[in-house]
Amino acid sequence: MGEPVRESKKENICVGLLAHVDAGKTTLSEAMLYLSGRLRKLGRVDHRDSFLDTHSIERERGITIFSKQALFELAHRSITLLDTPGHVDFAARVFKIARDAQGSRLSFLKLLGGELSVRGTLRYHDLSGAEREEKLTQLRLYSGAKYEAAEKLVPGQIAAVVGLSGTWAGQGLGEAPDAEKPGLESVMSYRVIPPEDVDGVQMLPKLQLLQEEDPQLHLAWNPRAGQIELRLMGRVQREVFRRLVSERFGWDVALDKGRILYRETIANKVEGVGHFEPLRHYAEVHLILEPLAPGSGLVFDTVCSEDALDRNWQRLILTHLAEKPHLGVLTGSPITDMKITLAAGRAHIKHTEGGDFREATYRAVRQGLMQAESVLLEPYCAFTVEVPGELLGRVMSDVRAMGGSFGSPEDAGTLTRLRGSAPVAEMNGYAELLAGFSRGMGRISLRPDGYRPCRHSEQVIAEIGYDAASDTDNTPDSVFCAHGGGFTVKWDRVSEYMHLESCLKKPGETPRPSPRAAISIDERELEAIMEREFGPIRRPQYSAPQRNEAPARQTSAAARREYLIVDGYNLIFAWDELKTLAAERLDLARERLMDILSGYCAFTGKELVLVFDGYRTPGNPGSRTDYHNIHVVFTPAGETGDMYIERLADEIGRNYAVRVVTSDNLIRLSALRSGVLRTSAKEFAGELEWTLGQIGEILKKSEWAARPEKLGESLDDGKPQ
């Protein structure tokens, strides 16, 4: 690093070198830098001493892995040269995210207009859509691994900006549009195996820093399998990923042999319906799903009348369709090559919220897929093989055995070239086989070539063993409301309960009557579940002070009672008072929470189950007891609090209004399919504080006001006297 560079009067030009792997991009870059006088010595990739390939992995392998830049001067122009690897990773606008040796986050960008100055501010939107305004603390002009500081940038220059925390590769800043997504997609997924002493959940956020730097890395947490999954382009990326994790974080991670990423589509036109109506919520969605030509991807449209459903609600539904990958029902793979059209929908003037349409939309997609004739698709790759002529017959025979196809052989100098396409599952590992029988004379290059119907779909489906009906994160069932509580209707009966008529009536079909019968609610069923979990039910022996109000209208038992299932540790650490207490004595924080919840239930008349997670304690048998008027559970070793909460909520949520208090973002409660509502621990902490305040106000106005010693005692302890 040297003195700040002087402002140049020359024209600034950016030159990028793009070509396939091993085409000579870095060699050409070195020659340009040498002839311009920027380099005194001409480096070579194969000699592992090139000026631009500075990372140890690049020098060991003799290939370019990360895009680099260098500066040199001509008579009337200042040139910024970009040398790139063989895959698309920018090596306009923000084209790369990296970190220096001190961990500073670097946003590499090309300035297209205007100017940027050190200590100036930049306003932009991050990946979540949130607006940020951040100060540019440094502008760096890199040449290889070295850089010079600049005071400002002018159009045409490329620099690394320090101070931006939410930028992403391909982002357009200011008036520049975002770059198009890379045309190449990963078709292999690998399980990341952490070291024995490292928890995968804790590892994921740090690994995602690498994903910022290389957009071709796709890291995600699989809640069903409880593991980190990594999508990559090929074998070289596997080695690079492991090396970077070791260098950056000191973890020796392993990757399994990987699995093919399949896709799914449909072969016929169907209507998918979804309804979401737990207590005080409402949304209904009707979608038409129909197949499109291979390679079309997903297309979304609407033909719904705005008289029936407001335009804003329709836009929201289309947003929900596009906001996540929807999974097929054969293997749980993402769907593609189909058109999904919003045909009808309904909102409630009072009870509908934005999240209600998300639930109804997701359920409508899945319900339609459950009815459709689904088709499993596997990825294909286009290949180019060059071998000595005497080995061409062997290659042709191999490709035919793989189920692939090829064109006429071509002359390639001393070798013969063969181009074609074959399934990725079969071509995976063929490069090593080719090198073996050709004694290093043959070479092969591969690129993605779309998805086609899987040749061994029955075998693949059986091996994956996906159960669509049991995938609670992607349920096809719907939630309706009766007697003040939500109940679940299975996907194959949902159409009988929908409030709107089908949009795909069969010829001669008469309109169906809307069902009026409600699912019966059996109070004895609930008591049996609670007695099984906690033993004989003990009724509360005290209640809140009575207020002089008119008697409430009589309602059903289910409407009078609400059931709460609370994740104890989530609530403790979401409430500042309890969090502080837990830092000193966790057992005291638990007891304090139990006292507060006991008073809360006495005041509100609600049933409450408080769950503490004990699965990390070896040999812990767990326990289920009553504390005054609440039920308290300590889960045994091997059973997480989430597992217990989901199971209990699923059972009692069938017929009753149930609310779960949790802040766990790694799961989507399976109980939601039963109409169970989820409240964040922080929101519920606020509700508790408000309720305690109400208790205090009532006590002040009651006869207890004459007994200040008892009043103060009650409010201090947060429990009834």
Q: How confident is the model at residue 126 (pLDDT cuts 50, 70, 90)?
A: confident
Q: CA of 189: how far to CAs of 205, 259, 461, 695, in Å?
A: 19, 5, 17, 55
- What burial class does residue 569 get, using C-beta atoms within 10 Å of its C-beta: 0-12 exposed, 13-18 middle, 19+ buried? buried
Neighbours of 533 (CB within 10 A): 15
| Residue owning tokens 């290059």 | 445
Which pLDDT does position 714 carry in this prediction? 42
Which pLDDT does position 629 carry in this prediction? 86
Contacts of 209 (CB under 8 A, 6+ apart): 99, 248
Whether 90 has a pLDDT exceeding 60, the answer reads no
Decide which of 387 and 653 is more confident: 387
Among the residue ranges 329-343, 427-441, 510-524, the one predicted with the least confidence is: 510-524
| Residue owning tokens 């997504």 | 181
Whether 431 has a pLDDT exceeding 80, the answer reads yes
Q: How confident is the model at residue 489 (pLDDT cuts 50, 70, 90)?
A: very high
Condensed to tens digits (0 to 9), the pLDDT of residues 271-324 reads 999 999 998 899 999 999 999 999 899 999 999 999 899 999 999 999 999 999
Calpha distance 317→365 (Å, rounded): 11
Backbone angles phi, psi at 609, to 5 degrees: -115, 120
Backbone angles phi, psi at 624, to 5 degrees: -140, 110
Token pair belonging to 651: 């059972």
Which pLDDT does position 668 carry in this prediction? 44
Which pLDDT does position 371 carry in this prediction? 96
Mean of the per-residue pLDDT values of the chain: 80
Decide which of 542 and 578 is more confident: 578
Which pLDDT does position 524 carry in this prediction? 60
Partners of 292 in the β-ladder: none
Calpha distance 291→373 (Å, rounded): 10
Calpha distance 355→352 (Å, rounded): 8
Contacts of 546 (CB under 8 A, 6+ apart): none
3-state helix, strand, coil in the chain (%, to 5): 30, 25, 40
Contacts of 644 (CB under 8 A, 6+ apart): 611, 633, 635
Condensed to tens digits (0 to 9), the pLDDT of residues 213-260 reads 777 788 888 877 788 999 886 677 788 888 889 888 899 999 988 888
Chain centroid to CA 700 = 50
Whether 549 has a pLDDT exceeding 50, the answer reads no
Residues 262 and 466: beta-carbon distance below 8 Å: no
Among the residue ranges 142-151, 160-169, 360-369, 696-705, the one predicted with the least confidence is: 696-705
Which pLDDT does position 398 carry in this prediction? 95
Token pair belonging to 719: 């429990």
Which pLDDT does position 498 carry in this prediction? 93
Which pLDDT does position 493 carry in this prediction? 94
3-state secondary structure 277-340: CCCCCCEEEEEEEEECCCCCCEEEEECCCCCCCCHHHHHHHHHHHHCCCCECCCCCCEECCEEE
Calpha distance 641→658 (Å, rounded): 17
Fill in the DSSP letter of residue 423. E
| Residue owning tokens 């159009």 | 155
pTM over 0.85: no
Residues 253 and 193: beta-carbon distance below 8 Å: yes
**What is the mean pLDDT of the segment spanning 522-536?**
65
**What is the mean pLDDT of the segment spanning 395-402?**
95
Q: How confident is the model at residue 654 (pLDDT cuts 50, 70, 90)?
A: low
| Residue owning tokens 């001493």 | 49
Calpha distance 461→329 (Å, rounded): 10
Calpha distance 73→51 (Å, rounded): 17
Condensed to tens digits (0 to 9), the pLDDT of residues 98-118 reads 888 888 899 998 888 888 889
Among the residue ranges 399-413, 535-549, 613-627, the one predicted with the least confidence is: 535-549
Token pair belonging to 321: 């369709």
Give the DSSP H or E segment for 576: helix 576-584
3-state secondary structure 44-80: CCCCCCCCCCCCHHHHHHCCCCCCEEEEEECCCEEEE
Calpha distance 216→106 (Å, rounded): 18
Angle (CA) 626 628 633, round 5°: 30
